[in-house]
Amino acid sequence: MKFIKSSEKSWDEKEGYSKKVFLTETDLNAPGTHVQQIKIKPHEVAKNHHHKKQTEIFYFLNNNGFFIVNGTKILVEKNDVIVIEPDDLHEVVNNSDDDFLYIAFKINYDETDIYWEKDN
């Protein structure tokens, strides 16, 4: 059994988003698996990117934003789930005055497997 207190984990600030790692592949004894919480601050954007190997399963803790996946806008509600497959181009937008929060379950996770789209 493992018990993770979110309050004891720290946020890792990135460009357009923050992440709080709950479980790594070492913790889970399962290579390529990773569980983290994502926070998009009010009126911020995690810009278009994709992964070549990873599948990401997102579980939404609130509905303070939306996703654009392969050009399609997806309005999420609390408790909804999105599965992002390898090569799905995705962007996350917080269009609210509060944090947009969700849990990311990652399969075939590799820290270097992120490819940001260039602005046109």
pLDDT confidence band for 76 (50 / 70 / 90) = very high
Distance, CA of 2 to CA of 114 (rounded, Å)? 29
Q: H helices of the chain, where?
A: 25-28
Domains of the chain with bracketed CATH: 10-112 (2.60.120.10)
Distance, CA of 77 to CA of 61 (rounded, Å)? 8
Distance, CA of 93 to CA of 98 (rounded, Å)? 12
Residue with tokens 């998009």: 40
Indicate the pTM of the whole model. 0.94
Based on the number of CB atoms within 10 Å of its own CB, is 67 exposed (0-12), middle (13-18) or buried (19 or more)? buried
pLDDT confidence band for 120 (50 / 70 / 90) = very low
